[in-house]
Amino acid sequence: MTVAETYRGINHRAVKLRNRSTVFRIVRDVGPIARIDLARQTGLNAATVTNIVEELLAARLVEETGQGTSRVGRRPIFLEVNPSARLTLGLDLARDSITGAIVDLSGRIMERFAEPAGPWLDGAVVLSTVGAMVQRLLATLPAPDRQALVGIGIGAPGRVSFSSGRYLAPPAYGAWDGLALRQEVAARFGLPTYFDNNGNTSTLAELWFGAGQGIANFALLTVGTGVGGGLVLDGDLYHGAHDLAGELGHMSVNLAGPRCACGNYGCLEMYVAVPRVLAAVRAALMSGEPSALRAGARSADRLTLDDVIAAAGAGDDLATRIMADVARHLAAAMTNLFHAFDPELILIGRDLARASDLLLGPVRQEVQRRAMAVMRENFRLEVAALPDAPVIGAATLALREFFRAPLPDRHDIVA
Ligand SMILES: [Zn+2]
């Protein structure tokens, strides 16, 4: 079934927008690409592709390059994205900092700033810090580039309503409850503004620019201070009925486990989040278990995840046992995801991705042992590609909406 056929019957304008964003996405994902291959990959006819390409060229979103090779005759003309044609501004409110960046159409960070921040700040301070950062980023742009800015995207931890642009009772972020971050930023800067959870923004970044490019169904599991992530289903971020989908850290992996702050018992986060891993190491050291980590220069309370990864890599028994335990819990959660959503790929991101040499093999093995026989051979686990995914993804929120709207008339572009 072609894209055109899928959308037959929906109004003409919606079909046109959908086709154009499909063409642009393919140029972005696989360009440089010739028009004929675009027609082949989209299932659209040559005339439609030609019209869409004309529009994209007029808007300077794509450009022609002659870098293809041909055995005989003229060199074919290829199309690729013009990365600087549009820019977007992303803000990521993390647990200990606010990062802001200007990002181009290829996902490249042009400019970035970071400030310490966190749940201890009240809502008004968060707003003024965010405002000052946007101001500072805008000041780095020469006037023509400011015209190219399509919008602002904001990502933050905890529960965020993408549709209302408000914080929803974020755990441990009481002072931010109900904060209408999207409306405040939009009103101050007069730019389209979007707000989402940073598990979702990271997932969006991987979809557009990272390990999820061209993949219609995948899950990202981010493991750092907390555990989160997001789902891409049928080619787009999945928000759920109330914008609360993606709480992957609060899948129970142990019915008899301790109670989590979320109310559930034995949540994944309680076994694999970095503070939990370090606490397990400390408890084992306290109980007298022998380990190279005891002899390390650092005292137990200054132990880092990288110390544990290095010790496990060097064959330390305690560190190896703890990482094997992390792998087992991750595998149980990933089997649940795999059974529920049949994704093409599961990505692991953030801090624990640094332990990929220790984790990927054992997790794959354990999933093979647990998963339904009919699904087993489809399981693919990889490391997420973008260390800056939260801020790039926040910026991508605005790009995603930009490509859903009509392009300005050619007259506007020429003027
Ligand atoms: Zn929980």
The rounded mean pLDDT for the chain is 89
| 381-395 mean pLDDT | 97
Q: From the CA of 326, how far away is ligand 1's center (Å)?
A: 16
Q: From the CA of 200, how far away is ligand 1's center (Å)?
A: 18
Q: From the CA of 340, how far away is ligand 1's center (Å)?
A: 19
Asked whether the predicted pLDDT for residue 180 surpasses 90, the reply is no
* CATH architecture designation of domain 3-81: Orthogonal Bundle (1.10)
Write down the CATH number for the domain with range 211-385: 3.30.420.40
Q: From the CA of 251, how far away is ligand 1's center (Å)?
A: 7
Q: Would you give the distance in Å from CA 166 to the centre of its chain?
A: 20
Nearby residues for ligand 1 (ion, Cβ within 5 Å): 250, 260, 262, 264, 267
Q: What is the pLDDT of residue 67?
A: 55
Q: From the CA of 295, how far away is ligand 1's center (Å)?
A: 34
Q: Contacts from 334-338 at CB under 8 Å and sequence distance 24+?
A: 334/221, 334/363, 334/367, 334/379, 334/381, 335/366, 335/367, 335/370, 335/371, 336/251, 336/253, 337/219, 337/221, 337/248, 337/251, 338/367, 338/371, 338/375, 338/379
Q: From the CA of 282, how far away is ligand 1's center (Å)?
A: 22
Q: What is the pLDDT of residue 154?
A: 96
Quick: pLDDT tens for 126-159: 889 999 999 999 999 998 888 899 999 999 988 8
φ/ψ (deg, to 5) at 157: -75, 165
Q: What is the pLDDT of residue 172?
A: 59
φ/ψ (deg, to 5) at 408: -60, 160
What is the pTM assigned to this prediction?
0.89
Q: From the CA of 244, how far away is ligand 1's center (Å)?
A: 14
Q: From the CA of 248, how far away is ligand 1's center (Å)?
A: 9
Q: What is the pLDDT of residue 412?
A: 37
What distance in Å separates the CA atoms of residue 392 and residue 398, rounded to the nearest whole number? 11
Residue (of 389, 380, 382, 386) closest to 343 by Cα position: 380
| 299-322 mean pLDDT | 93
Q: From the CA of 141, how far away is ligand 1's center (Å)?
A: 42
CATH homologous superfamily of domain 87-207+390-414? ATPase, nucleotide binding domain (3.30.420.40)
Whether 3-81 shares its CATH topology with 211-385 is answered no
Domain ranges within the chain, ordered by starting residue: 3-81, 87-207+390-414, 211-385
